[in-house]
Structures are given as structure tokens and as C-alpha cells.
């Protein structure tokens, strides 16, 4: 145990010494002499009462000193310093959002879905990427959920208004809504496994929100981006706000998106499906993964219970003695 404000103890001791010296210097009270007083003081009953009185005063002084020492120690803020290695779940999730024109009416709703996803994850690292003709990382992989919630709230407001600097950097390429390039950027957003501490094998997932309405000439087709995800062992969970294919043909936007997602071991949901959020959370948490220990962290916690408990007992004892001395 250590004291945060250790200098309080010498100050308290100095104050106690000064108070004691002032008390000793006080002029003694004068009394009147009584003739043949020894006849009273020599009585056995008087001697017994005097001994009990002196013992009570000694005990009162001891309890007072103990009370002052305990309260001074509590004021000095005793603390316990320990080293901990928190256990972290080795799952990474990147939220991948298409912010092209065809998604304008639904992007704010998707950001709200992402907020719900972030609230339900526990221990996983999450990040977010937005894309149109080019991709921008909104925030990197992190397990700071308060920070992620702030960023997602800001994203929802920006997507709801449709203006501001939120979209800067997403129009640097040719064309629009280059879904394959966007998905490939999200897949590449995971750090190199070999560069991570302990070479821990991490479960990796992309939650891709797009209507798959391509407008332009991408570097990666959606199928090629899916192959890239599969080669890096990244599962894709697709959220489609459109989900209105014209028939059951395999070349329909929703059908293509579903095929790519399921080809990586992921799943496909319509945005308005009540199973979307719980389904994605369940699928991500079912991925095989093992926990690992993070870097050691020093934790300092206050430990005032012992001195405060001693002060409470000493104070109660002083009250009892005061009552006995003044019946």
C-alpha cells in the first residue's frame, strides 16, 4: 500500500505536537486547600475510583491518538498499486458503408444499425470505412466503444443532413458506387497478423452495407473483392437497404451481393429485417477465436477502508468514554 498524499502525515504530527505544547503551557487552575483531605483520599473507595478515572483518561488519550492517526492516514489517500493483464477477445469487425447517391435515403438508418451493432459487441475491436468512388477510414480498429459511439453518432448526423466534410475523400476516383473497390479497401483495413503482438490469430469480419448498384469501372469487381476476403479469411456480412431484385436471376444486384457474402462464410440480410442486427452479432460471436492477454497495465485503486474503519471504532470508543466520565 502507498500513500498518495504522504505529506499530510508529517503535517498532522506537527500540528499534534504544537497542540500538546500549548496545552502543557496552560496555567494550572488554582484550588482551595482543604484541611485533613487525606482522610478522604486514603479511603479504599476513593482510591478505586481514582484508579478507574486515571485508566479511563489514559484510554481516552490512546483512542484520541488512534483516531487522529487513522483520519490523517485516510486523508493521505492510501492506494493499492497492482499490475493487470486484461483478457481481450481476438475478433476484429470493420463496418463498411457505401455512401454513394443511391444510398442517400438509407445511409442514416444504416449508421443507426451500426450503432446498435457496436452496443452489442463486447471486447471485439471495431472500425469503420466509408466509400463511393474511393474509400476513407472513418476510425481505425479500436475497443474504445465510447469513442466508436461518438464517431457513429457524428456519422449518423452527417448522413442525415447529407452535407459537410464527412464525405471528403470519397469522390477521388472515377465513377460512383464502386462496391468491389470499397469492399477490397475494407478487407485490406485489417492489420497484418504477423505484425501483431503474440502473432495472435484473429477472427475478422466485414459488415458491408450497400445496394450493389454499380456505376463506373472499378479496379476490383465485387466477386474479386469477395475472393480477396476469402483468401484473407475475412467473412462478409452484407446489409442491403434495397433488396428489390427484378427476378431470381443470379446477375441481380441483391443476388450477387448474397452470393459473395455467403461465399466468404458470411450471411446476407435486408436492412429492414428484424434478424439483421442479432443475426450478425450471433454470427460474428460464433466465429472460432481464442482470447489473449493484452499488454500489462498498472492499476491504482484507493484503499481507505482500513484507516476509516479504525477511525470509526476509535471515535465510538471516545464517545462511550465521554459518557462514562460525565454520567
Secondary structure (3-state) at 128:
strand
The Cα-based distances of 219 to 19, 260, 264 in angstroms read 84, 17, 20
Are 221 and 170 in contact by the 8 Å Cβ rule? The answer is: no
Determine the pLDDT at residue 223.
93
Residue 198 confidence (pLDDT): 43
DSSP letter, residue 293: E
Could you report the per-residue pLDDT of 230-253, keeping only the tens digit for each? 998 899 998 887 766 655 666 788
Pull the grid cell for residue 42: 486514603
Q: Does residue 205 contact residue 287 with C-beta atoms inside 8 Å? A: yes
pLDDT for 62 = 86
Q: What is the pLDDT of residues 247-287, one digit of tens each?
A: 566 678 888 888 999 999 888 887 666 666 677 767 766 66
Q: How far are the Cα atoms of 138, 150, 228, 254, 301 from residue 130, in angstroms, in the given order?
A: 7, 16, 19, 20, 41
Report pLDDT digits (tens) over 147-180.
Answer: 888 888 888 888 887 766 777 888 887 777 788 9
- Helix or strand holding residue 95 (H, E): strand 91-98
Q: How far is CA 193 from CA 58, 124, 167, in A?
A: 70, 16, 30
Domain ranges of the chain: 2-26+42-82+298-325, 91-291
Q: Which residue has the cell 492517526?
A: 69
Question: What pLDDT score does 185 carry?
Answer: 93
Distance CA 142, CA 125 (A): 5
Enter the DSSP assignment of 168. T
Task: Give the distance, in angstroms, between the CA of residue 161 and the centroid of all CA atoms in the same chain.
Answer: 30
In eight-state DSSP terms, residue 198 is G
Q: What is the pLDDT along the chain (327 residues), one digit of tens a residue?
A: 778 778 888 888 888 788 777 777 765 666 677 777 777 777 788 788 888 888 888 888 888 888 888 888 888 888 888 887 666 666 788 989 888 877 777 777 788 877 887 777 776 788 999 998 889 998 998 888 888 888 888 888 888 877 667 778 888 877 777 889 999 999 998 887 655 544 456 788 898 988 888 888 888 999 999 999 999 889 999 888 776 665 566 678 888 888 999 999 888 887 666 666 677 767 766 665 545 566 677 888 888 888 888 888 888 888 887 777 665
Evaluate whether the domain defined by 91-291 bears CATH number 3.40.50.410: yes
**Whole-angstrom Cα distance, residue 130 to residue 141?**
14
pLDDT for residue 199: 42
* Phi (first) and psi of residue 83, to 5 degrees: -115, 125
Gap between the terminal Cα atoms of the chain: 42
Per-residue burial over 149-186, b if 16 or more Cβ lie within 10 Å, else e, is eebbeebbebbeeeeeebeeebeebeebbbbbbbbbbb
The pLDDT score that the predictor gives to residue 229 is 92
Amino acid at each position: 500500500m502507498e500513500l498518495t498524499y504522504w505529506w499530510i502525515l508529517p503535517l498532522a504530527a506537527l500540528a499534534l505536537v504544537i497542540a500538546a505544547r500549548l496545552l502543557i503551557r496552560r496555567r494550572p487552575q488554582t484550588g482551595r486547600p482543604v484541611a485533613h483531605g487525606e482522610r478522604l483520599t486514603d479511603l479504599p473507595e476513593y482510591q478505586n475510583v481514582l484508579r478507574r478515572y486515571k485508566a479511563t483518561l489514559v484510554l481516552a488519550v490512546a483512542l484520541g491518538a488512534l483516531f487522529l492517526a487513522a483520519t490523517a492516514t485516510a486523508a493521505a489517500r492510501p492506494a493499492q498499486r497492482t499490475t493487470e493483464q486484461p483478457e481481450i477477445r481476438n475478433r476484429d469487425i470493420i463496418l463498411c458503408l457505401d455512401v454513394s447517391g443511391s444510398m442517400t435515403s438509407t445511409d442514416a438508418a444504416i449508421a443507426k444499425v451500426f450503432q446498435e451493432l457496436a452496443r452489442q459487441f463486447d471486447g471485439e475491436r471495431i472500425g469503420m470505412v466509408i466509400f463511393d468512388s474511393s474509400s476513407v477510414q472513418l476510425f481505425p480498429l479500436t475497443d474504445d466503444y465510447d469513442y466508436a459511439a461518438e464517431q457513429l453518432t457524428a456519422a449518423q448526423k452527417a448522413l442525415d443532413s447529407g452535407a459537410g466534410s464527412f464525405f471528403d475523400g470519397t469522390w477521388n476516383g472515377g465513377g460512383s458506387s464502386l462496391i468491389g473497390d470499397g469492399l477490397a479497401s475494407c478487407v485490406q483495413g485489417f492489420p497484418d497478423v504477423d505484425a501483431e503482438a503474440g502473432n495472435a490469430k484473429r477472427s475478422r469480419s466485414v459488415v458491408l452495407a450497400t445496394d450493389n448498384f454499380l456505376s463506373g469501372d472499378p479496379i476490383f469487381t465485387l466477386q474479386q473483392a469477395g475472393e480477396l476476403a476469402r483468401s484473407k479469411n475475412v467473412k462478409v456480412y452484407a446489409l442491403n437497404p434495397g433488396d428489390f431484385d427484378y427476378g431470381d436471376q443470379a446477375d441481380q444486384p441483391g443476388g450477387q451481393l448474397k452470393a459473395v457474402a455467403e461465399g466468404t462464410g458470411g450471411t446476407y440480410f435486408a436492412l429492414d429485417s428484424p434478424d439483421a442486427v442479432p443475426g450478425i452479432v450471433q454470427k460474428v460471436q460464433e466465429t472460432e477465436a481464442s482470447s489473449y492477454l493484452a499488454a500489462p497495465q498498472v492499476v491504482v485503486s484507493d484503499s481507505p477502508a482500513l484507516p476509516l474503519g479504525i477511525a470509526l471504532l476509535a471515535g465510538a470508543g471516545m464517545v462511550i468514554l465521554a459518557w462514562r466520565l460525565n454520567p
